[in-house]
Amino acid sequence: MSEQTVDPKPPKGGKAPRSAAPKPPLPEDVSAELRATEAPQAEAPNPGAQTPPPSPGLDIAALSAEQRAQLEKLSSNLARAAVAAQGVIAEMALRNAERPPALTADPFHVGPALTEVMGRLAAQPDRMMRAQADLFTRYMELWQSTARRLHDGTAAPVATPAKGDKRFMDPDWSDNPAFDAIKQSYLITSDWLNTLVAQVDGVDPMEKRRAEFFMKMLTDAFSPSNFLTSNPAALRELMSSGGESLVRGMENFAADLERGGGQLAIAQTDYEMFKLGENVATAPGKVVFRNEIIELIQYEPTTERVHEIPLVIFPPWINKFYILDLRPENSMIRWLADQGFTVFVASWVNPDSKLSTRTFEDYMREGIYAGTAAAMEQAGVTHVNTVGYCIGGTLLGSTLAHMAAKGVQPISSATFFAAQHDFTEAGDLLLFTNEEWLRDLEQKMDEGGGVLSGQAMADTFNMLRANDLIWSFFVNNYLLGREPKPFDLLFWNSDQTRMPKTLHLFYLRKFYGENALAEGKLVLDNTRLSLGDVKIPIYMQSSKEDHIAPARSVYKSARLFGGPVTYTLAGSGHIAGVINAPVAKKYQHWTAEGLPPTLEEWQASAGETPGSWWPHWAAWLADKSGGMVPARDPAKGPLKRLGDAPGEYVKVRG
């Protein structure tokens, strides 16, 4: 559940990142400054032969003392970086020699998909010829454009980066003709490859989608921005620092390997500067209930009177709950308290091998059933309103169907943030849920004591947005030799929890694989579930650019419920679309009455409103939350106080 679009302003008092060297102009001939070869020894003169031109070696004696010192420093640091790299690679090889052999020669399980795609292309030679001719034509246009630019500087670019592509923001990618040509050549080639795969006919849709994803991942990896010799900013940093940037980069590389236990775990932020309860997850409250699955936190009120029916929030158990409470200015928990709601939040356990056999049904009973019962007892009420975020919403929807089937309904209304119940149009995570992936995953979890490591979960989500969450940090940390900036969202993003084997495989197979809940085939507690039996009011939030729970998938989920449903579409994506405090005045949202058959029909009648969707939801929620009563102090309820917010479960690292 990763997305780097929340306002990246670091908290006050954060450690400043290592300062970068000032940006001097890129040397016109970097290779000339690095060249230090001596001229070959002259042979005996041959009267009949032409005199060869002098060798273009670097005359060390002609350099000033300062230039010689700079060259010495550069040479020394390049040698240091090379030695450090050799040491790191050797250490990694030794560590990995003790690991089990690779699970498969095709770790992405894309071989069959690529074979099918290439087979279809081979069967259409006319299309391949047209594609190759098109590629050759574009290369010729680039050559002509580059030649014209070198001649009179007037040529327009043949290929330009997509809007928002941060890889080529350095001015030299456009100002320097050589780097501009490299950039455009890459863009032409990568676009050609991705389009070729995307336009192939007669391939199974899921196999084609898998091949498209792999091709995009491959072309992103081979971007010239990811290599020292073709990245102008990295070369400039190398020269201006006398090679120290590369030494720092190798030190960062070694530190990331050490932190990953021999596997590369690229640092995305300064992890040391964030402390739970000190500068993130700071909303005051008390832990009022705990079992093996959750801690339930009740937050302090900020108004003298509150709505009678409290709100219980069930976030995803893949990440920690404090995405709802990163900073005071964007904390949903604090904002809801300011609106007069009594707020409870479930903090899921970070399970170890002792909980490896816990099931989806256990999470339903000890999570949502137990959490809502504790909140009702603490608040002295018979009903609560609920929120389910992402996978927490999938569990909440399943629980609502179970309650309906059992004839009990302690929940007055339910809100879903970016949550899926129909998985036919799920996001790119669907590509990681075929049986080949699941067999590898099961083996990984067996080797890990019955749980999937938090790092494995983080790696999967990072792959979904590799340019933002992998390659940008690869360039920053290793090629530029800089420290990643402090960013609370990325600290949270790295704070993944472990996944119990039984629960995780059930979720992936039953929801992503079989779409069992949407098709009325999911059985929990010997009870077949149907979302059509759920008649309580539902509020469904989705985000326009969500790549994990796409808006179309959430819309199809909304149409499964049997009662009144309010659907809202927010701007941005899976995180920023949800966590968008009104004070930020960012993005927009769309609302409309009714749920026509398709999202496109709904959008045609929807009205756009600038800013956050939170006020629209708060008005809807207030109408479902009863009259006003005196504010509830978490320290004075009937349940025993077990500690201060943010509790203990959230502090366990994965």
Residues 497 and 351: beta-carbon distance below 8 Å: yes
321 DSSP assignment: G
Residue 566, H or E segment: strand 565-570
Q: What is the spatial distance between Cα 306 and Cα 288, in angstroms, rounded to a whole number?
A: 19
> Distances from the Cα of 645 to the Cαs of 18, 296, 530, in angstroms?
33, 10, 36
Round to the nearest angstrom and report the end-to-end CA distance of the chain. 15
* Count of Cβ atoms closer than 10 Å to residue 204 Cβ: 12
Which residues have C-beta within 8 Å of that of residue 290, sequence separation ≥ 6? 296, 642, 649
Which residues have C-beta within 8 Å of that of residue 507, sequence separation ≥ 6? 360, 391, 394
- Torsion region of 594: left, alpha or beta (phi above 0 gives left; psi -120 to 50 gives alpha): left
Which residues have C-beta within 8 Å of that of residue 406, sequence separation ≥ 6? 527
Residue among 279, 248, 278, 254 at smallest CA distance from 266: 254
Which residues have C-beta within 8 Å of that of residue 33, sequence separation ≥ 6? 27, 71, 239
Residue among 390, 396, 343, 342 at smallest CA distance from 367: 396
The burial of 126, by beta-carbon neighbours within 10 Å (0-12 exposed, 13-18 middle, 19 or more buried), is given as exposed
How many helices and strands in the chain, by DSSP H and E?
22, 17
Helices 205-221 and 111-122, packing angle to 10 deg: 100
> Distances from the Cα of 589 to the Cαs of 595, 607, 616, in angstroms?
16, 8, 9
Q: Is 188 helix (H, G, I), strand (E, B) or coil?
A: helix
The burial of 477, by beta-carbon neighbours within 10 Å (0-12 exposed, 13-18 middle, 19 or more buried), is given as buried
Residues 344 and 285: beta-carbon distance below 8 Å: no
Which residue in the list 390, 470, 503, 529 is annotated as catalytic? 390
In one-letter notation, the amino acid at residue 369 is Y
111 labelled catalytic: no
Q: Is 36 helix (H, G, I), strand (E, B) or coil?
A: coil
> Distances from the Cα of 647 to the Cαs of 150, 273, 274, in angstroms?
63, 19, 16
Relative to beta strand 538-543, strand 411-417 is parallel
CA 128 to chain centre: 35
251 φ/ψ angles, rounded to the nearest 5 degrees: -65, -40
Q: Is the dihedral of CA 591, 595, 599, 604 positive or negative?
A: negative
Give the residue numbers marked as catalytic. 390
